[in-house]
Structure 1
Amino acid sequence: MELGRMLVGYSSSSSEDDSEAATDRHKRGSPKCQEQDGGNNVSPARKKPKIEEQVSKTRLPLPGCLLDMFPEDVSSPTEDSSLHGGRVRSFKHERGSWATYVYLPYHPEEEFGELLEELLSLAGAGGAVWTPQEELHLSLSQTVVLRHHWIQPFNRSLRAGLVHCKRFVCLAGRLRIYCNDERTRTFLGMEVCTGHAPLLDLVQAVDRTMKEFRLETFYKEPSFHVSLAWCVGDLTGQMGECLQGMQRVVDDHEEGPFLLRLDCVELRCRTGNKTFRFPLEP
């Protein structure tokens, strides 16, 4: 009996210990008990997903007026060439990157519009659709890509390099056909016949800035010209005979050969939708 009572007592004592241990484990595992204990055992990993879920549910989209304030920070839509007359980008658009080129503007005379209309009528006789250039200019650089934080120092460098460049006049009168490097567009241009030397001086100044920013410089033997119109595709092999007829129209103008005159008093740099102006010395 003594031995039996001892065994029973030992068994009862073990069960109570096990029960107390289980109760203690249950209390420690209870979130309510953890909070009552001061939160020392709270597991942040369990609560974080719930908090994130609540934040995501309550987060509101930015108003359109705020997005419009920072166009360079908004992802651009998929490029659709049909919306741009069939034109294709020469390089992929990237957020924070700005297409940039340097040029001399051309302000056409009144008679230029009638001449261009006649030239494009002849150029389109073969079925090609020609589009007049929106802004007539003479390029002094290739189109390069600038990061947004380069824009101001790039233009400061340009201004410093042009400080001693003088104003001048150049004339253009010979029609030529050009094609871009990707062979996706053909251009009708009028090539410069006088004023090469000061144009080369400007190109050298622009190239120094390009090298400073490790960008591509201008062509080694440039054909300075004003692009008049463009069409989609490579038509350089089809415009030979047509070009001769158009040149006769230019040469047989009412008061003699038509010469396109550029009064080079200001150089410009177009960066994205911004234009920087650099007046030349008188």
Structure 2
Amino acid sequence: MPGVFFSVLGHFDAVADRRMLVGYSSSSEEEEEEDEGLSGVGGGRRRKCEEEEGSNGGSSVRKKAKTEDRVSRPRLPLPGCLLAMFPDDVEPQTEDSSLHGGRIRSFKHERGNWATLVYLPYHPQEEFSDLLEQLLSAAKAHGVVLTPQEEFHLSLSQTVVLRHHWIQPFTQSLKADLAHCKRFVCSAGKLNVYCNAEMTRTFLGMEVCTGHAQLLDLVRVVDRTMTEFRLDTFYKDPSFHVSLAWCVGDLTAQMKGCLQELQRVVDDYEEGPFLLRLDGIELRCRTGNKTFRFPLEP
């Protein structure tokens, strides 16, 4: 009833007190209290606390069951298109040189570091494969077993390390700097022996004999981008060449011992000296497993 209030001076039992509340309907636990003859507010509160604790316990059990259900559910695999976007993060890297023909990394692999090279590609002529086989056979006769390159190119930068987030600005800078460079043709015909800085591999290469000035101009352009990103620039007095084959270790002395004979194979090939021709139509930049192309102006 409106306006009804309780007098704090009187003593009422818990059941009567609750019945005086307007619009109040007793719960099942209160009916049980009445049946059992419980009196006093304290007793009712103790029972209510016990029931609340019980209900909380049930809630925690349910939460635990849900958590265990989530843990036990198998995780859905990532779509292949997402995995392909970040191959360096999902593909395991190995340092086992036996899986790479005995080759040893020039620098330790670290997640997020991308080996990067700027180069001029060489597309082999028809007769090149036959000449290479003859060179490998002649070297083997002198005790030097060479492995042919998987692909052929002329380097215009050292191999440097790029962080993943540098790739886009680095290639954009290269594109802008190379935008006005002209196409050209260069050729190579003189064999030479090269060894990397770590002395872990020796190369048989064919050195450029024409187009040297145009290659130096391109190196100066590439070096500007390297300097911008605080990376190593190219060698001061470069010997531009196309590597043909390689072997593990420093075998410079052994290879130079048979170099004259190998050069004769080149000079006497078919009707005259063989010239390896490179069409400078575009430069490329390989970083990790990505390749960027930069066409030169006609």
TM-score, normalised to structure 1, is 0.79
**Aligned amino acid, residue 203 of structure 1:** V
- CA–CA distance in structure 2, aligned partners of residues 117 and 152 of structure 1: 40
**In the alignment, is the contact (CA less than 8 A) between 1:174 and 1:190 conserved in 2?**
yes
Change (3 A) 1:277 1:66: closer
Q: For residue 103 of structure 1, what is the aligned residue in structure 2?
A: 119
CA-to-aligned-CA distance 1:206-246 (integer Å, 9 cap, x gap): 01001111111111111100000111111001112211100
Question: CA 1:248 to 1:98, structure 2 compared with 1: closer, same or farther past 3 Å?
Answer: same
State the AA in 2 paired with 1:276: F
Deviations for 1:167-200, whole angstroms, at most 9, x for unmatched residues? 1111111101111111111110000111111100
Match of residue 194 from structure 2:
178
Aligned length: 255
> What runs of 5+ residues in structure 2 fail to find an aligned partner?
1-41
Aligned partner of 1:8 in structure 2 is none
- Equivalent residue letter for 1:110: E
Task: Please give the per-residue CA displacement for 1:41-81, whole angstroms capped at 9, x wherever unaligned.
Answer: xxx9xxx9999777555463745847733322226243221
User: What does the per-residue CA deviation read over 1:113-147, in whole Å, with 9 as the maximum and x for residues that have no partner?
Assistant: 11111111111223333111111110000111112
Q: Show the 5 A alignment for 1:114-263.
A: 114-263=130-279
Does structure 1 conserve the Cα–Cα contact (< 8 Å) formed by 2:186 and 2:210?
yes
Q: In 1, distance between residues paired with 2:65 and 2:72?
A: 11
Structure number with greater Rg is 2
CA distance 1:95–1:124, shift in 2 (3 Å): same
Identity of aligned residues (%): 71
Q: Which amino acid aligns with 1:260?
A: L
Aligned to 1:268: 284
Which letter maps to 2:124? P
Contact 1:74 1:95 in 2 (8 A): no
Aligned to 1:72: 88
RMSD: 3.1
**Matching of residues 38-49 of structure 1 within 5 Å:** none
Question: Match of 1:104, SS?
Answer: strand
CA contact (8 A) 2:144 2:254 kept: no
For 2:91 and 2:64, the matched residues in 1 are separated by: 29
Q: Residue 281 in 1 paired to residue 292 in 2?
A: no
1:142–1:216 Cα contact (<8 Å) kept: yes
Q: Residues 143-170 of structure 1, C-alpha deviation per residue, up to 9 Å, x if partnerless?
A: 1111222111111100111122111111
Structure 2 Cα separation of the partners of residues 157 and 67 of structure 1: 27
Contact 2:144 2:255 in 1 (8 A): no
Letter in 2 for 1:214: R
Call closer, same or farther: CA 1:35–1:213 in 2, change over 3 Å: farther
For residues 160 and 67 of structure 1, what CA distance do their matches in structure 2 show?
30
Counterpart for residue 60 of structure 1: 75
Q: Give SS of 1:227's match.
A: strand
> What residue is the counterpart of 2:35 in the other structure?
none
Paired with 1:187 and 1:132, the residues of 2 have a C-alpha distance of 10
